[in-house]
Structure 1
């Protein structure tokens, strides 16, 4: 080898060592950067004629196990899906309370049962009536609050869908931009390792939002699709759009109550699954509505069962005015049978006036209202909301009603039930249940006794016995016995006490939350293991890079020394010939 060839070999060695050191230094500097893969250099021997004359850097590459990447992408979707479900259910379970916390809806029903039991012993106590009404208000407020919590979570999920769609669009646009840069760099023979790392990170972001399929074309473009085959990125990024509903109520459901998620203007809501968006859709449209159904079943059954008892009773002393809670129209067909009794009684329950009405003689609601209004000393009418109002014309007398064997309407309920007279609760769901407004304001209006059904009852007789607590006792019995519940949410047909059914709702949500948390922890572990495996194969090993830098420094020093020696030899030769 002549001196020039040796000098060239030393020079190329210096250049390559410098380039390799730069790559190793970059690896060390980016060791903690998410998605960064370790870069390695490939060298080519320079040949002149038939002799090796030096070395050159042919490429900078990185090794990535695509099978691991694909597994990690799938695991990432599962990880965010399970974690999103767990977060929402844990929050709802916390709002419902635990079965041993004494703050659940079941505990409030038990408190109501206890207050009623105390009243049954001393039904004439106004303070105990107050405690019963306050406990009933507490139950209704609790159901209202839980319903509001469920709907707020649905609203939060709905808003999060809008936010996540925006984040997804940003990641898709980033993949599209990186596709352009990568294909151009490949065409120019330039290194694309860092660009591919960035694109891989963007793909992970997409997978967090949605379960996807993808492949890389021969030109280096990454094409991404939904699991059902809709393109998200191909030759361009496709745009999703969604606008949250804002306020969400228990009656809102997909598709009538919420907008569609669109992809390039086409509805794709039902075609999206997995990831954060899939979890949010499932929570908003299935999981949370099912829990709302359970709360509604409890509220509706509570209203129906309790009112069925109180509708048979009367306040003691009787109220001067009774106002129904159910709206009726004067022209409504009554379809009535049997007999009802109306009486005016004084504060001691002594009858002033008593009239029995045969419902079969009245065709419409208006006919019956007119007949009641025709009773001496009684006024009756339908108010602006269609509610029956029955009043005593004498302020010293109260109005008492006994349903007797009456039946009205298509459901064939007693006449007090038909009009909602002496109801404790109003509403039909967890969202709408309330304690009757006038009762909430005046607890002495609570029905605790019963107007006598004696066929010989007449003026001067005792119509309501002093200390009559028959309705309070019936309510106490109701809360201690099982009632039938139709299937709702995740709960099947069952027979249980009101408090026990409430406990089953709390337990159902707690079980769902616990299961979701366990699944999230498992998915987390799978994703972490895959990420660690990928990092071990493709990430930066600081020990190896440090050792490589040390070896390259020695290589650089050797080439530098060789170059220096050859330069000195050139100088010696020049001196010899000059």
Structure 2
């Protein structure tokens, strides 16, 4: 190879190196951009130089660790955003349920001083209406949160499908590029950025095929992306609980599989599901059991007393009966309906599943612990009694049929005062207008352990506030720790794959001088050639 050809090879290599360094410099703040390095090698012809490749400074292990951390952080951040709303809602001291319950019992205490005082009776009614109104507002707010979470889950699923479709499209372009003997670093960067964005939504496992394509799978191994194909997630009404949205997976044959919520442990989708299934459901059930317990206990005393008109007391508070939903996959025609029994102490702030089998008949389990619950089946009335509820059964269940029982989840939003007439308060147990014996029993409900037979109303509400506050603090602490880990991994990833402007500035100077030196080689070669041609 002539000296001119050698110089030209250097000029070509210098141009590529300058272009590479320029690209690094101009993309220093481009999201997802990975540092590129021009690798020099001796020319295959034996003289001169060539650029063997322009490679990305990419570490798959660090990137996988970072994506996993991003997924966990996103789940915690989403959970914290949601649970902080409940924490703020319950922490309002002036309008807290505990304050209003104290106000209600304070009005009853005033009534005990003179049961014939109509003003005192109206005060009790007013305090009761204020209390039930606050219960309704809190319950409705939580119901709206549940609806909003379901809506967010749908939006997140749409985003997941959009990202996986784009990743599959890039897989196709990248594998084609590899087949042609060249690799587009820009396409690789775009794909890795999409995977990072996907990790914010769901926790995924990524593996690389021999042709450079990514396989992206959920934690349970189901593929979201396999080569050039992507597989959709969908949302549907839960078969067991129509108040909740379930996520389903659609395979290549079009078959749909319902995914357990535990499939999504990370990402904002996992955070939403975790919040819905724990803190939100618990808060709804805890508020609900307060409403049900007060309703049952107070109405029981009303029924045993005499009002100002000399009549037996009527129900003062009202709350919806337990909700029961038959699984949509049931094959029998049985339907279940429930009412609360007088045994208010047997109630628990949890959901239950009733199952039927040909061998065991109807069995009951707690959904929060999975523990079996003692139940009594009455064949004469075709009814089932458990946990402070009487469940009437109509129709015939088939083997494997199941039913979801929600005793208290919807109770708070339905809590109401049935009368605005203070004379209907059954303050006594005789026809005497000044008899306050039953009012004293009503006042004792404030300190009696009427919730689950172990806690007072105030203790139950305080425990709810404490549990939510503790959860909010715990998640905030975990989020802070996880954010620190994500920051460390980001720094590590950037130290390897990020652009250092100082280094690139130095590289530009070096490659410029290199270009000038190669140009000098060409100049010298040309001068020598001219000299030789001028020799006679």
Scaled by the length of structure 2, the TM-score of the pair is: 0.76
Structure 1 gap segments, 5+ residues each? 328-409, 412-426, 452-462, 487-493
Structure 1 partner of 2:263:
272
Secondary structure, in 3 states, of the residue corresponding to 2:413? coil
1:58-457 pair list within 5 angstroms: 58-97=52-91, 101-243=93-235, 254=241, 258-264=245-251, 265-270=255-260, 272-274=263-265, 275-318=267-310, 429-436=411-418, 439-440=419-420, 442-451=421-430
Change (3 A) 1:69 1:25: same
Secondary structure, in 3 states, of the residue corresponding to 1:32? coil
Change (3 A) 1:255 1:310: closer
Change (3 A) 1:107 1:323: closer
For the 8 Å contact 1:95–1:149, the answer to whether it is kept is: no
Secondary structure, in 3 states, of the residue corresponding to 2:474? helix
Distance (whole Å) between structure 2 residues aligned to residue 567 and residue 260 of structure 1 = 72
Decide which of 17, 21, 28 is 1:20's aligned counterpart.
17
For the 8 Å contact 1:300–1:428, the answer to whether it is kept is: no
Per-residue deviation at 1:259?
A: 4.9
For the 8 Å contact 2:163–2:194, the answer to whether it is kept is: yes
Q: RMSD across aligned C-alpha pairs, in angstroms?
A: 2.9
Change (3 A) 1:77 1:47: closer
Per-residue deviation at 1:24?
A: 0.4
Distance (whole Å) between structure 2 residues aligned to residue 24 and residue 321 of structure 1 = 88
Distance (whole Å) between structure 1 residues aligned to residue 247 and residue 23 of structure 2 = 46
Distance (whole Å) between structure 2 residues aligned to residue 108 and residue 78 of structure 1 = 39
Change (3 A) 1:293 1:223: same
Decide which of 507, 512, 520 is 2:471's aligned counterpart.
512
Structure 2 gap segments, 5+ residues each? 321-383, 386-408
Per-residue deviation at 1:284?
A: 2.9
Larger radius of gyration: 1
Structure 2 partner of 1:422:
none
Per-residue CA deviation, residues 446-497 of structure 1 (Å, 9 max, x unaligned), is: 333332xxxxxxxxxxx314x3333333222221x231433xxxxxxx6232
Distance (whole Å) between structure 1 residues aligned to residue 105 and residue 196 of structure 2 = 54
For the 8 Å contact 2:160–2:201, the answer to whether it is kept is: yes
Secondary structure, in 3 states, of the residue corresponding to 2:43? strand
For the 8 Å contact 1:254–1:285, the answer to whether it is kept is: no
Per-residue deviation at 1:534?
A: 0.7
Structure 1 partner of 2:451:
485
For the 8 Å contact 1:106–1:500, the answer to whether it is kept is: no
Change (3 A) 1:47 1:323: closer
Distance (whole Å) between structure 2 residues aligned to residue 127 and residue 229 of structure 1 = 68
Per-residue deviation at 1:118?
A: 2.1
Decide which of 423, 428, 432 is 1:464's aligned counterpart.
432
Secondary structure, in 3 states, of the residue corresponding to 1:57? strand
Distance (whole Å) between structure 1 residues aligned to residue 77 and residue 275 of structure 2 = 12
1:9 aligned to 2:2? no
For the 8 Å contact 1:253–1:285, the answer to whether it is kept is: no
Change (3 A) 1:244 1:112: farther
Secondary structure, in 3 states, of the residue corresponding to 2:2? helix
Distance (whole Å) between structure 1 residues aligned to residue 159 and residue 244 of structure 2 = 24
Per-residue deviation at 1:294?
A: 1.2
For the 8 Å contact 1:42–1:60, the answer to whether it is kept is: yes
Distance (whole Å) between structure 2 residues aligned to residue 37 and residue 47 of structure 1 = 28
Distance (whole Å) between structure 1 residues aligned to residue 471 and residue 34 of structure 2 = 39
Distance (whole Å) between structure 1 residues aligned to residue 120 and residue 257 of structure 2 = 58
Structure 1 partner of 2:514:
555
Change (3 A) 1:227 1:435: same
Distance (whole Å) between structure 1 residues aligned to residue 410 and residue 502 of structure 2 = 69
Secondary structure, in 3 states, of the residue corresponding to 1:61? strand
